[in-house]
Amino acid sequence: MNPVILEAMQSCKIDSASVLKTWKEIVEIESFTHNREGVSLVCDFIRSELEILGVRTKVIEFDKVGPLLIGEYGEGDLSECILLTGHMDTVFKEGFIKENPFRVEDGKAFGPGVLDMKGGVNLIFYILKLLKALHYTKPIKIIISGDEEHGHEHSNQGQLMLEESKGCKLAFNMETGLIGNSITVARKGRIACRVATKGKSAHAGANFSDGINAIHEMAYKILEIQALNNKYKDVTFSVGTIKGGTVANAVPDYAEIEIDVRYNDVDIKETLIEDLKQIAQTSKIQGTTGELFIDGGFPPFSNKLNQRAYEFVNAISVKNGLGETEAIHIGGSSDAAFITIAGVPCLCSMGVKGEWNHTNREYALVDSAIERIVLITDAILESEKVKSFLV
């Protein structure tokens, strides 16, 4: 590894123990997306850590979800600015920490959001601490959203990230790092939506024929939606949840499903929505109605701007003895999409490495924290030698 960085790490007392200390603190503040108070507490923690390092911060509040945090470090022209991004919300509801507390076992850190993505946010503190010790004064911007896990359904944080990213030189999205030393250069877009059907309730025994079964109608729609998986290349439709009815002895007058759609081509998005709308509004059972609701999502994260940045960081990885990386395109969505739409080259999955996001098995490799701190710090230092990462 870069001996200059290693020496600075020793002088700053940056090691696994120090990284784990703040990692534990941030994980133990529960911040499910719809737990606005919890997300705000995480924001307060991050803001405090950044301001200790000399970062100028501002927080943008929202009514239904947690805030967006923006930080600025250093001085200089925006064209030299490096962007570090992430999110502070998790998918884990309040109280989950009791059954899955933060802990380290066999070199793996466990806990709600330990990988996705409080581990990545935690790295930002140490990257900045190192850069400060190395007298790096060029501009760095930090943007951390409060509602990424639900696709900014109740805010315009995605659009704000896009606007705040404009003009930056290079971005690292500190999302979940992948086992196998991969770097994400492209992701599918996502449409989060619901279909609801309405019928007519009735007693299932005494007045069965008077009822119009909304779940029965929904069953037809589910089959039609799943059949769309055969219509387009590299597009997936997944019916993920279903609910309806009240009791078994009543004909249900309402049913609802949640659908996850993934796609690569931004130009096809409206066509996909129109297909779903047609299915929702076309009834098989007389007397039922249906409606499509779009709840949020992400545009595709395109690789058009990222190849030169990837090659640059791959060379830095090899130089530091961290091995060759692999550029990959994955199905999961992230805020990296908004950054590339802003015209900024962006590398994603730059946080701590691990597996099993969104489950009680979620873990992160503790040693990968130091590796990523070194990699990104050195990449930022070396980026001064590159005028532009745009191909």
pLDDT digits 0-9 by tens, 177-190: 999 899 999 999 99
What's the Cα-to-Cα distance from 391 to each of 169, 338, 381, rounded to whole Å? 12, 19, 20
On the CB side of 58, CA atoms within 13 Å amount to: 5
- C-alpha distance from residue 84 to each of 31, 328, 390 (Å): 20, 20, 18
What does the pLDDT average to over 192-221?
Answer: 98
Give CATH 3.30.70.360 domain extents, the chain. Answer: 189-298
Q: How many CB atoms lie within 10 A of CB 67?
A: 24
Report residue 238 as tokens: 């997944």
Is the pLDDT at 297 greater than 80? The verdict is yes
Angle value at C-alpha 169, between 163 and 175, nearest 5 degrees: 70
Q: Is the pLDDT score of 391 beyond 80? A: no
Percentage, residues of the chain above pLDDT 70: 100
pLDDT in tens, 61-102: 999 999 999 999 999 998 899 999 999 999 999 999 999 999
More confident residue, 151 or 313: 313
CA distance 372 to 125: 12
What letter would DSSP give residue 10? Answer: H
**Tens digits of residue pLDDT in 334-347:** 999 999 999 999 99
CB-based contact 196:291 (threshold 8 Å):
yes
State the chain's maximal CA–CA distance in angstroms.
82
Contact by Cβ (8 Å): 156, 68? no
Check whether 374 has a pLDDT greater than 80: yes
Q: d(Cα 148, Cα 152) in Å, to the nearest integer?
A: 6
Mean of the pLDDT values across residues 196-216?
A: 98
Residue ranges of E strands in the chain: 56-60, 68-73, 82-87, 103-105, 108-110, 140-145, 170-173, 177-178, 182-187, 189-198, 202-203, 236-244, 250-251, 254-263, 289-298, 326-330, 346-347, 353-355, 363-365
What fold, for 189-298? Answer: Alpha-Beta Plaits (3.30.70)
The pLDDT assigned to 302 comes to: 85
pLDDT of residue 40: 98
- CA dist 359 and 91 (Å) reads 9
| CA dihedral angle for residue 211, residue 215, residue 219, residue 220, rounded to 10 degrees | 40
- pLDDT-derived band at 15 (thresholds 50, 70, 90) equals very high
Least Cα distance to 66 among 91, 37, 93, 92 occurs for: 37
Question: How many residues make up the chain in this entry?
Answer: 391
Are the CB atoms for 91 and 32 separated by under 8 Å? Answer: yes
157-173 average pLDDT score: 97
CATH code 3.40.630.10 region(s) in the chain: 3-187+301-385
Rounded to an integer, the average pLDDT of 328-339 is: 92
Residue 148's pLDDT is 94
Is the N-terminal amide bond of 174 cis, ω within 30° of 0?
Answer: no
What does the pLDDT average to over 348-354?
98
**pLDDT attached to residue 296:** 87
Q: 337: Cβ–Cβ under 8 A, 6 or more apart, which residues?
A: 187, 189, 298, 299, 300, 301, 302
Cα 264 from Cα 332, distance rounded (Å): 11
Return mean pLDDT, the chain: 96
Environment class of residue 390 by beta-carbon count within 10 Å: exposed (0-12), middle (13-18) or buried (19+)? middle
pLDDT (tens digit per residue) in 33-59: 999 999 999 999 999 999 999 999 999
Confidence check: pLDDT of 372 > 80? yes
- The confidence score (pLDDT) of residue 1 equals 84
Q: What sections of 263-351 are H helices per DSSP?
A: 269-281, 307-319, 336-341
User: CATH for 3-187+301-385?
Assistant: 3.40.630.10
d(CA 49, CA 127): 12
Give the integer Cα–Cα distance in Å for 349 and 173: 6
Q: Decide if pLDDT at 149 tops 80.
A: yes
pLDDT of residue 332: 87
Using CA atoms, how far apart are residues 329 and 376, in angstroms rounded to an integer?
20
Burial class of residue 99, CB neighbours in 10 A (0-12, 13-18, 19+): exposed
Look at residue 257 in the predicted model and tell me its pLDDT: 99
